[in-house]
Structure 1
Amino acid sequence: MGCGTSKVLPEPPKDVQLDLVKKVEPYTGYKTDIYKHFIKGDGDAIKSAIPSPPCHTNPHVEQPEPRKNRVAKYRAKFDPRVTAKYDIKALIGRGSFSRVVRVEHKATKQPYAIKLIETKYREGREVCESELCVLRRVRHTNIIQLIEVFETQERVYMVMELATGGELFDRIIAKGSFTERDATRVLQMVLDGVKYLHTLGITHRDLKPENLLYYHPGMDSKIMITDFGLASARKKGDDCLMKTTCGTPEYIAPEILVRKPYTNSVDMWALGVISYILLSGTMPFEDDNRTRLYRQILKGKYSYSGEPWPSVSNLAKDFIDRLLTVDPNDRMTALQALKHPWVVSMAASSSMKNLHRSISQNLLKRASSRCQSTKSAQSTRSSRSTKSNKSRRVRERELRELNLRYQQQCNG
């Protein structure tokens, strides 16, 4: 659902490379436990990533606060109206101005997610207003549903449906089989949701696999569109053009990069990128260098080389081509995409070639290379940070010494 700070940046200067707020994180494998920091019960503990202290502790060393107290303090942050109705169970995610927790309705035992946003900060208010503006208007089987809202002077608690089936690619990796028929079934659900949003004048502006979640772990689970922190909602009669530069670089449409006013067709471009990844496990546009990445996108430069593309139908490639069209006026709408021959015919097909092995290998290969580059970058940053920390510590020590001498002079 997303729980970060404001994800919209000001318009960039014309002579400066765009620095969009979102970053694609590498796939890191199937998540066996998505509920870190789990709260077992009223008097039980939180499973924290911090290891437990050893049994034999030094009595002279200050011991960490008992876990029971930490749980009590954590729950105390919630408005009494919330805790009277819901049991707080687990921390799912966190950001600078928000937390997302798994809760259980006390009466029905139904699980939900609560997004707690600190609205005393401007960024928190912006995210909250944007998301609430959209979620209060939508009601669709493939879109995460807002259940109710609790508001205080400094916080907003958004109670929403809880998607427990995991992210799209996690399911593909775990499944062991994936065909074009499976891909069209996924895309049909996503397209249904996007078509509904566009009918209401809502543009998601950050469609990507991480924001497509399965409702439950079962094989018959539906896909749900989540994270509306960047969404734009327009009322009927309003200018349908948007100008804010935002999104995730690898999924961003060319018209946004050139800072032209754009429409909801940017969502369709993102669906073209998702379709490409869905059928291959690779990105159509990818480069560690932002400038080169943007050049690829602006030219619409991608290829169907390597596995499993020789096994993918021409209809599927045509579907992608009609979405990854640089001119937004030539791009398919959600309704047109739903009526494309590939979506219609493959969804009804009974047997297709299993693409799972190639897709999985490509996903894992990409994850490995991205992890290596991330570690290298972190190592460089760490080295610079160490030098910076040393100089900062020296300055702080000098300041403390000066302050101590000043106090001695005053007392003397």
Structure 2
Amino acid sequence: MGLLSAFFRRDPLLAHYKIGRRLGKGTFATVKEATEKTGDKKKWAVKIIDKRVLAPEDEQALTKEVEIMKQLAELQHPNIVFLKEVCQSEGTFYIVQELCAGGELFDRIVEKEKYSEKDARIAMKQIVSAVDACHDLRIVHRDLKPENLLYQAKTGENKDVIKLADFGLANMLKADEALATACGTPGYVAPEVIAQVGYDKEVDIWSLGVIMYILLCGFPPFYSENNPQLFRMIQRCQYTFTRPYWDQVSDQAKDLIRSMLVVDPKKRATCKQILEDPWMTVDEPQKKPELEGFQKNMRVYNAKRKFKAGVMALAAISAMQRGAAATKAANKLKERVSKGDVDESEAPAPAPEG
């Protein structure tokens, strides 16, 4: 674990925090609530990572994530999740960061009784501001999606503050060197990522365009249950402002989306251009204050998105369980062979991986 040693404070986490309820679980990590034992007993979110399951490439990715979060923490940007500290025990890494208890962006929106362009504008200003701060540091997020846009709190003065989170796929841009790794989330990923031709920070702009589109009508610009077909739609930029849902949306909003959803990355608007766009700087929408039909569309899309994520998680768990069962069976068979209960030539061949 030499690569990570420079980043971690050696004090055990449990000496300073009381670990509480589980907030989430990923492939290599579990996120739990942590409360400081001293001072004002402030609550944080702690990402708990088991060292034993980390391959060398996972360790490198974790190192990069910590590097990026430390740089962003120095900014103390109001719309970026704050990294407090990173520490480790003998078998575990701990990443202590700001607790965002207000839920995901889309989940909050579907709870609203009324929704307007102004609501979409308030959200977009915060999201673009966070991405702009990343780009100024030559950091590309690469996974902008609703799951990574969190409200700081459910109630109180910070209930409407949105935070950009999860920098696990983020990367640093180097001079005269494009990124090449195919990563991101289908539906939000840019054409050049799909084509694997090398890409830059403009991939985040494309994702911002997709998010803004959804924030104004309640469904995505590109959608198919078949990923190859979805990717073809994205690469051809095949989307429309579907009637009647877009009839009530201002032309300025549509123009801004058009400036982001451009196949040629060099022709896309920058974050600073987006923030200075007329749609972003007006105080009120030009048409009706409420977007009729939006809530119904958003509820359907959000439910489908959640269901799909759940199915994928169950599939991953099932695959892991099958792998564990196969390993157990193989070990048992190996033991029987060693005892002479079964001839090795009669033992069945192992099942192919995957």
TM-score, normalization: structure 2?
0.80
Select 1:315's aligned residue among 241, 252, 261.
252
Q: Are residues 1:327 and 2:264 paired?
A: yes
Note the residue ranges of structure 2 that are not aligned, 5 or more in a row: 1-9, 317-322, 343-354
Equivalent pair of 2:152/2:161 in contact (CA under 8 Å): yes
List, as ranges, runs of 4+ consecutive aligned residues in structure 1 with deviation greater than 3 Å. Answer: 347-352, 366-381, 388-405
The alignment yields a C-alpha RMSD, in angstroms, of: 3.6
Equivalent pair of 1:119/1:128 in contact (CA under 8 Å): no
* DSSP 3-state at the match of 1:157: strand
- Distance in 2, matches of 1:255 and 1:152, equals 41
The 3 A distance-change label for structure 1 pair 160 and 350 is farther
**1:201-240 to 2 correspondences below 5 Å:** 201-218=138-155, 220-234=159-173, 238-239=175-176
- Distance in 2, matches of 1:157 and 1:391, equals 31
- Paired AA for residue 113 in structure 1: A
Select 2:93's aligned residue among 128, 138, 156.
156
TM-score, normalization: structure 1?
0.70
Partner residue, 1:99: 30
Equivalent pair of 1:181/1:352 in contact (CA under 8 Å): no
Partner residue, 2:319: none
The 3 A distance-change label for structure 1 pair 152 and 334 is same
- Paired AA for residue 229 in structure 1: G
Partner residue, 1:82: 13
The 3 A distance-change label for structure 1 pair 97 and 124 is farther
Partner residue, 1:354: 290
- Distance in 1, matches of 2:200 and 2:69, equals 20
Q: How many residues align?
A: 325
Report the more deviating stretch, 125-134 or 398-407.
398-407
The 3 A distance-change label for structure 1 pair 306 and 371 is farther
1:219-242 CA distance string (max 9 Å, x none) = 75311000000001236xx33521
1:82, distance to aligned residue in structure 2 (A):
1.0
- Paired AA for residue 253 in structure 2: A
- Distance in 2, matches of 1:396 and 1:141, equals 53
**1:64-75 to 2 correspondences below 5 Å:** none
Select 2:41's aligned residue among 92, 104, 109.
109
Report the more deviating stretch, 240-249 or 119-128.
119-128
- Distance in 1, matches of 2:103 and 2:172, equals 27
Partner residue, 1:259: 196
Partner residue, 2:50: 118
The 3 A distance-change label for structure 1 pair 392 and 106 is closer
1:94-118 CA distance string (max 9 Å, x none) = 2232111101111121110111223
The 3 A distance-change label for structure 1 pair 97 and 377 is closer
- Distance in 1, matches of 2:308 and 2:59, equals 35
Equivalent pair of 1:202/1:233 in contact (CA under 8 Å): yes
- Distance in 2, matches of 1:234 and 1:112, equals 30
* DSSP 3-state at the match of 1:183: helix
Note the residue ranges of structure 1 that are not aligned, 5 or more in a row: 1-78, 382-387, 408-412
Identity %: 34
1:15-53 CA distance string (max 9 Å, x none) = xxxxxxxxxxxxxxxxxxxxxxxxxxxxxxxxxxxxxxx
**1:286-297 to 2 correspondences below 5 Å:** 286-297=223-234
**1:51-66 to 2 correspondences below 5 Å:** none
- Paired AA for residue 106 in structure 1: K
- Paired AA for residue 46 in structure 2: I
Whose radius of gyration is greater, 1 or 2?
1
Select 1:132's aligned residue among 58, 66, 81.
66
Bigger relative contact order, structure 1 or 2 (CA pairs below 8 A, ≥6 apart) = 1
- Distance in 2, matches of 1:373 and 1:201, equals 32
* DSSP 3-state at the match of 1:90: strand
Equivalent pair of 1:265/1:331 in contact (CA under 8 Å): yes
1:99-142 CA distance string (max 9 Å, x none) = 11101111121110111223341254133112101101012111
Equivalent pair of 2:110/2:299 in contact (CA under 8 Å): no
- Paired AA for residue 354 in structure 1: E
Equivalent pair of 2:11/2:87 in contact (CA under 8 Å): no
The 3 A distance-change label for structure 1 pair 240 and 152 is farther
Partner residue, 1:282: 219
1:152, distance to aligned residue in structure 2 (A):
4.1
* DSSP 3-state at the match of 1:159: strand
Equivalent pair of 2:250/2:287 in contact (CA under 8 Å): no
- Distance in 2, matches of 1:224 and 1:391, equals 42
- Distance in 1, matches of 2:312 and 2:88, equals 41
The 3 A distance-change label for structure 1 pair 223 and 398 is closer
- Distance in 1, matches of 2:68 and 2:328, equals 47
* DSSP 3-state at the match of 1:303: coil
Equivalent pair of 1:118/1:125 in contact (CA under 8 Å): no
Partner residue, 2:348: none
- Paired AA for residue 337 in structure 1: I
The 3 A distance-change label for structure 1 pair 157 and 393 is closer
1:300-325 CA distance string (max 9 Å, x none) = 00011144211111111111111001
The 3 A distance-change label for structure 1 pair 188 and 84 is same
Partner residue, 1:47: none
- Distance in 2, matches of 1:339 and 1:288, equals 36
